[in-house]
């Protein structure tokens, strides 16, 4: 059993059940490189403060550098340590003797763990943004490939209006653009150095916090030591941004699952992102989309879990906060894995234009265009809405679509109907009429594609 960092005041060690419950090294070992980096920056501050001599600092710094290289290859150096912080201190002490014991001067595990975690979240924000950007590029390519394809638009999953398929795809581009920005904001929130806050009141050694922050790549410092060690808002922001992103992935997956069903048959997915059935040989299941949809609930649950942990905690540090990292780590893995898989899956999506064309002839998609046509003839919209409803009922009774009614059929509902009515009642005219910023008109969607391309280029360059 390795020596604990806090055992001097106790006569007995922890019970086995307490060790099992409280030791976290199997989880927070993921922070090992960040912990070493923070220790090296702290050692430099101890040198500047006169706690370390130059030879002492050099010996400790070299030891930490060697440990970093060893941990890159394996985590076999971890023993029965309480957490990754006590592990690193033990390893340094084994090599450097009392110098290892001096390394902890002026810092606490409280300010060290939060500094480690902030560095981790910053890196994960960069990673997530890169994956979102890759997905956005795939969406732009898909929209561009099918630009001009008319597709049924839905509300309440009922046929609503004709749209361009590319318009539908770019709707998700906009959602992921907001997600990208949320992770930019989370990066900024995380980019604050807490080291120097000590256990909760600061430290007595006048350590150069600004120098430490600069060495660690932080742009600013925490301004209140009590807030510094108790704050988990930046993790909440990451989990919140991840929940938004997973929600958008899940919604898109739901549509892919429905579109992929032979009942609609709008699309098909590549064999490499579908699976079969152990009993039904005809099945080709969209399992990857289903899994991503399912994993969204897991990420949302992590957000609620951390909020629940935080809501009853007094200042400052409480051991409950140890639970944050398992939630955070699982969220980062789940989100990034989902983004990467979804992006690869989208690239295999093929559109069945025949099935789409069949769907466009169901549900009276052009009914609203008839109402708009009447408005153009001077009929108040509320009246045109009622007239159109009656025309739809008539078409249903005749077993046809509203645009298949004859001129005479339509004129019985309004004397304003003229010879040009069927020019308005066609899919192409419906789409073309939505010529407004953000609309589904072809030229407007072409602008959206151009703007989306420019966005992905700026995001790739980090601008």
The whole-number pLDDT of residue 1 equals 44
The whole-number pLDDT of residue 3 equals 55
Name the nearest CA neighbour of 150 among 270, 266, 269, 261. Answer: 266
Q: Which domains does the chain have, with CATH numbers?
A: 16-105 (1.10.275.10), 110-147+163-202+229-358 (1.20.200.10), 361-458 (1.10.40.30)
The position carrying tokens 């749209």 is 163
Question: How far is 108 from 89, CA to CA, in rounded Å?
Answer: 12
The whole-number pLDDT of residue 21 equals 82
The whole-number pLDDT of residue 15 equals 86
Question: How far is 460 from 81, CA to CA, in rounded Å?
Answer: 41
Active site residue 86: no
Q: Are strands 192-193 and 158-164 parallel, antiparallel or unpaired?
A: unpaired
Task: Render pLDDT for 289-339 as a digit per residue (tens, 0 to 9).
Answer: 999 999 999 999 999 999 999 999 999 999 999 999 999 999 999 999 999
Name the nearest CA neighbour of 440 among 249, 155, 170. Answer: 170
The position carrying tokens 């040989």 is 281
The whole-number pLDDT of residue 365 equals 97
The whole-number pLDDT of residue 462 equals 78
Question: How far is 87 from 305, CA to CA, in rounded Å?
Answer: 28
Task: Render pLDDT for 334-392 as a digit per residue (tens, 0 to 9).
Answer: 999 999 999 999 999 999 999 999 999 999 999 999 999 999 999 999 999 999 999 99
- Ranges of residues in the chain whose predicted pLDDT is under 50: 1, 6
> Catalytic pick from 230, 277, 278, 430?
277
The whole-number pLDDT of residue 87 equals 96
Active site residue 277: yes
> Catalytic pick from 85, 156, 302, 422?
156
Name the nearest CA neighbour of 25 among 67, 86, 69, 73. Answer: 86
The whole-number pLDDT of residue 202 equals 97
Query: Helix 109-145 to helix 233-260 angle, to the nearest 10 degrees?
Result: 30
**Partners of residue 351 on adjacent β-strands:** 267
Classify 416 as helix, strand or coil. coil
- Token pair for 284: 């080709």
CB 366 within 8 A of CB 159: no
Question: How far is 388 from 368, CA to CA, in rounded Å?
Answer: 8
**Partners of residue 350 on adjacent β-strands:** 268
**Partners of residue 162 on adjacent β-strands:** 152
The whole-number pLDDT of residue 193 equals 98
**Partners of residue 163 on adjacent β-strands:** 151
- Full DSSP string of 82-126: SSHHHHHHHHHHHHHTHHHHHTTTT--HHHHHHHHHHHHHHHHHH
Compute the CA torsion angle 391, 396, 397, 398 (nearest 10 deg). Answer: 90
Classify 239 as helix, strand or coil. helix
The position carrying tokens 């391309």 is 453
The whole-number pLDDT of residue 346 equals 98
Question: How far is 221 from 213, CA to CA, in rounded Å?
Answer: 7
Residue 266 CB-density burial (10 A; 0-12 exposed, 13-18 middle, 19+ buried): buried
The whole-number pLDDT of residue 13 equals 78
Phi and psi torsions of 153, nearest 5°: -95, 145
């Amino acid at each position: 059993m390795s020596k604990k960092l806090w055992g001097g005041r106790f006569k007995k060690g922890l019970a086995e059940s307490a060790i099992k419950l409280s030791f976290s090294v199997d989880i927070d070992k993921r922070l090992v490189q960040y912990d070493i980096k923070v220790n090296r920056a702290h050692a430099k501050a101890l040198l500047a403060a006169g706690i370390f001599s130059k030879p002492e600092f050099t010996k400790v710094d070299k030891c930490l550098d060697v440990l970093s290289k060893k941990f890159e290859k394996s985590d076999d150096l971890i023993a029965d340590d309480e957490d990754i912080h006590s592990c690193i201190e033990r390893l340094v002490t084994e090599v450097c003797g009392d110098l290892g014991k001096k390394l902890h001067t002026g810092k606490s595990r409280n300010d060290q763990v939060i500094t480690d975690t902030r560095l981790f979240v910053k890196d994960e924000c960069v990673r997530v943004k890169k994956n979102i950007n890759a997905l956005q590029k795939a969406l732009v390519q898909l929209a561009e490939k099918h630009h001009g394809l008319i597709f049924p638009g839905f509300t309440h999953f009922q046929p609503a209006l004709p749209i361009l398929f590319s318009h539908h795809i770019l709707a998700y581009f906009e959602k992921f653009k907001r997600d990208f920005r949320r992770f930019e904001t989370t990066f900024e929130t995380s980019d604050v150095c807490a080291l120097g806050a000590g256990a909760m009141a600061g430290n007595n050694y006048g350590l150069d916090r600004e120098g430490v922050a600069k060495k660690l790549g932080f742009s600013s410092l925490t301004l209140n030591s009590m807030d510094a060690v108790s704050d988990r808002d930046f993790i909440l922001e990451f989990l919140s941004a991840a929940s938004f992103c997973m929600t958008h992935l899940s919604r898109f997956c739901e549509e892919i699952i429905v579109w992929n069903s032979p009942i609609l048959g709008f699309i098909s997915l590549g064999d490499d992102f579908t699976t079969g059935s152990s009993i039904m040989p005809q099945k080709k299941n969209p399992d990857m989309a289903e899994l991503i949809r399912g994993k969204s609930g897991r990420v949302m649950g992590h957000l609620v879990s951390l909020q629940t942990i935080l809501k009853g905690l007094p200042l400052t540090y409480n051991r409950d906060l140890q639970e944050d990292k398992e939630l955070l780590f699982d969220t980062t893995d789940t989100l990034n894995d989902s983004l990467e898989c979804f992006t690869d899956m989208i690239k295999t999506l093929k559109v069945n234009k025949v099935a789409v064309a069949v769907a466009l002839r169901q549900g009276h998609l052009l009914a609203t265009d008839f109402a708009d046509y009447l408005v153009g003839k001077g009929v108040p919209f509320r009246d045109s809405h009622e007239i159109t409803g009656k025309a739809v009922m008539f078409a249903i009774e005749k077993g046809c679509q509203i645009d298949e009614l004859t001129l005479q059929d339509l004129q019985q509902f309004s004397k304003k109907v003229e010879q040009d009515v069927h020019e308005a009642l066609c899919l192409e005219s419906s789409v073309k009429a939505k010529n407004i910023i953000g609309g589904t008109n072809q030229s407007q969607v072409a602008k959206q594609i151009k703007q989306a391309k420019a966005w992905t280029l700026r995001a790739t360059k980090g601008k």
